[in-house]
Amino acid sequence: MTTPTRPPAGPPAPPFHEILARALSRRELLRGAGLGLAGLAAASLLPGCATSPDPAARATTPAAGGKLGFRPVPVSTADTVVVPPGYSARVLYAWGDPISDGPAFLQDATNSAADQALQAGMHHDGMHFFPLPRGSASADHGLLVLNHEYIATGLLHPGGGHRHDPDGYDREKLEKELAAHGVSVVEVSRGADGEWRVVRPSPLARRITAATPIALGGPAAGHPLMRTGEDPDGRTVLGTFNNCAHGVTPWGTYLTCEENFHGHFDVPEGHVPARPERYRRYRLEGAGYMRLGWSTLLPRFDVAREPNEPHRHGWVVEIDPFDPSSTPVKRTALGRFAHESATCVLGPDGTVAVYSGDDERFEYTYKFVAHRRYDPADPASGRDLLDEGTLYVARFHDDGSGEWLPLVHGTGPLTPENGFADQAEVLVFARAAADAIGATPMDRPEWIAANPRTRELYLSLTMNELRGAPGRPGADAANPRAANPFGHILRWREDGDHPGATRFRWDVLVLAGEPSDEGDAPVDAFANPDGLWMDDREVLWIQTDIPERNQRAGPFTAFGNNMMLACDPATGEIRRFLTGPVGCEVTGMSMTPDLRTLFVNIQHPGEVPADLAARGLRTDPDSPTAVSAWPDGPAAGRPRSATVAITRDDGGVIGA
Ligand code: FEO
Ligand code: CA
Ligand code: CA
């Protein structure tokens, strides 16, 4: 999802030709240095990419040495999911579907809160397929674990939520909203007919919601900043919400990332918390932008009454999907910010790193390196491994080098004199610590993908229309456009390809948008990269999140609905693989180990911005199909976020 922001001030942008010259000279430098960065296509470092206005006219076989063999799909404004010829996409698990043999979805939104707690939440996001039995390479049976990022109260309730009808807002609505957030664990299998279905009943099915008890682990657990009236020990939090991207540990647990948690908290008018700058740094001021009204019924969402509750959100949460009775744990050693991705990389010596973006304009890119090593022969060695380690933040230098700056109490500016009493305070206020240490402000870091063989990393920078604006940071080599309405993708390799390295070399993989004829490899036009994941064939999958407010405006109309593309980083080729229905975001993906089924999440079909809503062009309780009727069709009622399972009709490998 996309949220408004108030970024910090910074120097003005240098002229664009200077930025371009820097990028070009760096390209030569990288080539001359023989970095071994595969296939540094000309498009990679230029302010545009070769695009194919008629992708269907392109070859359907792989380019020489390339990996992409499907016929690309054109941009679309149709209210449906489009995949290449020879592929099929079928809805597997939509909002409201029962996780097991529980209550069925009611299209008039009259399911109770208790029903919702046994059904798929709203707004699917990060996702992973865990084969069953555990540790196997099964490609027809497994656990699908997925995030439910946020909710649309106009769809969730008859008559809408607090912002639609404050007087009608009650405990039942509140509890249904809590239950529509969080994470699903569902058992899925592929039948003899080739179709994927949710297994019902399943003893492994589980919902984790915004009301589920979750333990705190790591340096901030039990700290005074984490203690509340309901939890005087500061060790158990109720709920996880705004779960966006995700990660998977080498020991087979799921990491869900708490992103825009601040939107749920209200700071009453006139209330000034102690150390107000620490709240403002996390955008905790005024009424929460989600306008859910939770603070009217739950004091913990009122910052005046429970000032420490916001400190208990904005973390990475570890879940064992194979044990439905296990307690999820918020791993505070990974820092508190708007986590987007918790991408794990395992080094040959057992070193574990977890990479995260902080998705906000001018925020940072982080890496956590565990102190203990993981032994693949002993999966139990992963237990609580994420509770001890070093959190780093990235500084990108204009010459293509980079360094990881440790956020360790007592080093550099991270001292009591500068407002950091101990390591817990550094982690709870990781953004402030990263400010102090001089990290590079980025263009909204979203997902991070890792090459499963080389450990090369890829980072989506989705957009930043405020870069270079008066009083804001200007362009630099890693964020080379001011403004940057279309986003770009960076990549880097750690020194020695070791996840524990403190230095790296980076370059720009692709600048999205602004079609041009430059470049060696065909690149289908796209904008606002967000979801990123690399499969075992080393194909990089890109999902887009063109903000809803832009989808019907200006240059963005050329891109149509949000989409998913496949990139062969070795050649620079990018082909459009899927287009989503109207008003959706395409986010979250996973494949079976044989790469023959691709699971993709379609989030918030039919969502349109407030200004259009005010003109009646919206999905609302009175006219829920005004913009999108996906996936159930106009007769059904409400658009629903859903997981789709994509297979090739000939049973082949996806994308090949
Ligand atoms: Fe929830 Fe940054 O996307
Ligand atoms: Ca996004
Ligand atoms: Ca995202």
Whether the CB of 363 sits within 6 Å of ligand 1 = no
pLDDT tens track for 518-527:
566 888 999 9
Mean pLDDT for 249-276 is 97
Q: Which two tokens stand for residue 549?
A: 């407010």
Nearest CA among 47, 328, 58 for reference residue 208: 328
pLDDT at 367 over 80: yes
By alpha-carbon position, which residue is closest to atom 3 of ligand 1? Answer: 1
What does the pLDDT read at residue 644?
98
pLDDT tens track for 62-95:
555 689 999 999 999 999 999 999 999 999 999 9
Question: What does the alpha-carbon distance between residue 434 and residue 448 come to, in Å, rounded to a whole number?
Answer: 19
Please give the full DSSP string across 398-415, using - where no structure is assigned: TTSEEEEEE--TTSTT-S
Q: Which ligand is nearest to the CA of 150?
A: 1
What proportion of the chain, given as a percentage, has pLDDT over 90?
80
* C-beta separation of 208 from 285 below 8 A: no
Whether the CB of 244 sits within 6 Å of ligand 1 = yes
Name every residue whose Cβ is closer than 8 Å to that of residue 372 and which is 6 or more positions away in sequence.
Answer: 381, 385, 388
Question: What does the alpha-carbon distance between residue 94 and residue 122 come to, in Å, rounded to a whole number?
Answer: 8
Mean pLDDT for 172-195 is 98
What does the pLDDT read at residue 522?
86
3-state DSSP assignment of residue 622: coil
pLDDT at 636 over 90: no
State the pairing for strand pair 503-511/401-406.
Answer: antiparallel
* C-beta separation of 546 from 462 below 8 A: no
Distance 652 CA to ligand 2 centre (A): 31
Mean pLDDT for 46-71 is 55
- Residues 20-56 as b or e (16 or more Cβ within 10 Å = b): bebbeebbeebeeeeeebbbbbebbbbbbbbbbeebe
pLDDT tens track for 206-261:
999 999 999 999 999 999 999 999 999 999 999 999 999 999 999 999 999 999 99
Nearest CA among 520, 408, 531 for reference residue 462: 531
Cα separation of the two ends of the chain: 30
Side chain identity at 232, as an amino acid letter?
A: P
pLDDT at 330 over 80: yes
Q: What share of the chain is helix, strand, coil (3-state, %, to 5)?
A: 15, 30, 55
In this prediction, residue 35 has a pLDDT band, given cuts at 50, 70 and 90, of very low
Distance 243 CA to ligand 1 centre (A): 9
pLDDT at 410 over 60: yes
In this prediction, residue 557 has a pLDDT band, given cuts at 50, 70 and 90, of confident
3-state DSSP assignment of residue 110: coil
pLDDT tens track for 384-403:
999 999 999 999 999 999 99
Whether the CB of 340 sits within 6 Å of ligand 1 = yes
- Residues 417-438 as b or e (16 or more Cβ within 10 Å = b): eebbebbbbbbbbbbbbbbbbe
Whether the CB of 115 sits within 6 Å of ligand 1 = no
The neighbouring-strand residues paired with 147 are 183
Whether the CB of 446 sits within 6 Å of ligand 1 = yes
pLDDT tens track for 190-210:
999 999 999 999 999 999 999
In this prediction, residue 31 has a pLDDT band, given cuts at 50, 70 and 90, of very low
In this prediction, residue 625 has a pLDDT band, given cuts at 50, 70 and 90, of low
Q: Which ligand is nearest to the CA of 462?
A: 2
> H helices then E strands: how many in the chain?
8, 30
Q: Which residue has the higher pLDDT, 655 or 614?
A: 655
pLDDT at 593 over 80: yes
Q: Which two tokens stand for residue 597?
A: 């089924």
What does the pLDDT read at residue 626?
60
pLDDT at 621 over 50: no
Torsion angle in degrees (nearest 10) through CA of 9, 10, 12, 13 = -120
Whether the CB of 532 sits within 6 Å of ligand 1 = no
What does the pLDDT read at residue 555?
86
